[in-house]
Amino acid sequence: MEDFDALVESYTSDRETGILGVVLLAVDHDAKSLYSKASGHTSLSSDANPISETSIFRLASCTKLITSIAALQLAAQGKFGLDDSSIIEKHLPELCTQEIVTSAPGQPLTFKPRTNPITLRQLLTHTSGIGYDITDPRLQAWRKSCGETPKALSGPILEAFSTPLVFEPGEGWGYGGGLDWVTVLIERVTGKNYGEWLRENVFDVVGVDARVGFVKMEVEKEGEVVMTTTRNKESKLVEHKVGQMKGEGGGGGLFASPSNCMRILQDLISDYPKLLPKEMLDELFKPQLPVGSPSLKGLHTSAPIFAAMTGPLTASLKSTSLNHGLGGILITEDSEGLGKTKGTLSWGGAFNCVWFANREVGVAGCYMSAMYPPGDVKSGELMSGFMREVWRKVGERELR
């Protein structure tokens, strides 16, 4: 451990070209710590505070897991079914009329009517055909044709994700704003705003404190939110100004401390989980994309996307070793480099942050930083070291 501790500190001590700050946490199914380290500072200022487990980070797409949990809670209560398209038709009529973009990137836009309905399962697994207008060139061209700029990072949710589909629902895989639509579904079904629902049904249940929230968190906790940095042309760290969604976006809008994130992750691997009943936990960790399906093939051809998001957990694996659960990428085979990774659910965020949870071996953890863009080389190196350290301890302790 001392060697890895020293490695972490070597990365964060270089405030010019290193990493501003990181928090690395991992626990077992009994909530016993496997690894805990906070190193670096909260900003580039000379008088910046040391970073800690209670520092507040932008979760970006790490938010998606929490939205999946909230949706599965309502499914467990019988509020809606995972495959009942009538629920989408009733509560999200905006998702019933979009056409599908059929033109190739760079070609004049063409469309066709859709034939398949959208289901909640598809929204949770990125198989609905909803894309991101910040990354898909066809949706960027569509925005331009409407006299608009991409809105996925700054627009109100309904405006940001009311775009044409990029494939027939259920017949592909494409990273997009499906979880933001799940946010709207939760609000319309429960009659409560999303943050209120999360507080009552997720955060309070596992003891998450007030250091979690949406956009106003940045104002209320000014000075406690870790500065987002990027590298300039000389590879030196500079501040990266981040746009904010208007509203409570379940696809990427949460701010939270690593210690609070771990309360949620540990519950998923606990022998006595509080957030979800067993049948829904099983669904969360179950491969959702059938072998040979267009959706699974689409996932496998999108490997660079989730490799950048989840780092070393998936980057070193064959794409055929991956599927999708209801909360993130699912590893279906053990890793030669790490060991018992089969059954690991994971996803990341744009600021080089990543979470993982494995019920089979009883381990969960997170790597939290505020470095943009995803796939930063030095961040990836440190993530790799963290994963090796955690899985080394998994092997040593034979948790299950």
Q: What's at 397, amino acid-wise?
A: R
pLDDT score for 9: 96
Each domain of the chain, given as residue ranges in start order, spans: 2-54+228-243+259-271+278-397
35 exposed, middle or buried (CB, 10 Å; 0-12, 13-18, 19+)?
middle
Q: What is the pTM of this model?
A: 0.96
Tokens at 160, concatenated: 């940001």
Of 208, 194, 214, 331, nearest to 274 (Cα)? 208
The set of catalytic residues is 61
Any long-range contacts for 299-307 (C-beta under 8 Å, 24+ apart)?
A: 299/173, 299/323, 299/324, 302/173, 302/174, 302/175, 305/175, 306/175, 306/347, 307/375
Dihedral class, residue 8 (left if φ above 0, else alpha if ψ from -120 to 50, else beta)? alpha
The tens place of each residue's pLDDT in the chain, 400 residues long, gives 679 999 999 999 998 999 999 999 999 999 999 999 999 999 999 999 999 999 999 999 999 999 999 999 999 999 999 999 999 999 999 999 999 999 998 899 999 999 999 999 999 999 999 999 999 999 999 999 999 999 988 878 899 999 999 999 999 999 999 999 999 999 999 999 999 999 999 999 999 998 888 876 665 576 789 999 999 999 999 999 987 777 788 999 999 999 999 999 999 999 999 999 999 999 999 999 999 999 999 999 987 777 777 777 777 677 788 999 999 999 999 887 787 889 999 999 999 999 999 999 999 999 999 999 998 999 999 999 999 999 999 888 765 4
Q: Which residues pair with 355 in a beta bridge?
A: 347, 366
pLDDT for 217: 64
**CA dihedral sign of residues 12, 17, 20, 22:** negative
Close Cβ partners of 225 (under 8 Å, ≥ 6 residues apart): 42, 55, 56, 57, 58, 217, 218, 255
User: What CATH code would you report for 2-54+228-243+259-271+278-397?
Assistant: 3.40.710.10
Q: β-pairing, 344-349 with 100-101?
A: unpaired
51 contact partners, CB below 8 Å, separation of at least 6? 20, 21, 22, 23, 38, 39, 40, 41, 42, 226
Say how many CA atoms lie within 13 Å of 95 toward its Cβ: 32
> CA end-to-end span of the chain, whole Å?
22
* Closest by Cα among 309, 292, 308 to 300: 292
Taking the C-alpha atoms of residue 70 and residue 338, their distance in angstroms, rounded to an integer, is 31
What is the 8-class DSSP label of residue 46?
Answer: T
Helices (H) and strands (E) in the chain, counts: 15, 14
| Whether residue 312 has a cis bond before it, omega within 30° of 0 | no
Rounded CA-CA distance 368/38 in Å is 9
Report the alpha-carbon distance of residue 211 to residue 365 in Å, rounded. 18
Map tokens 């599965």 to a residue.
Answer: 72
pLDDT at 218: 64
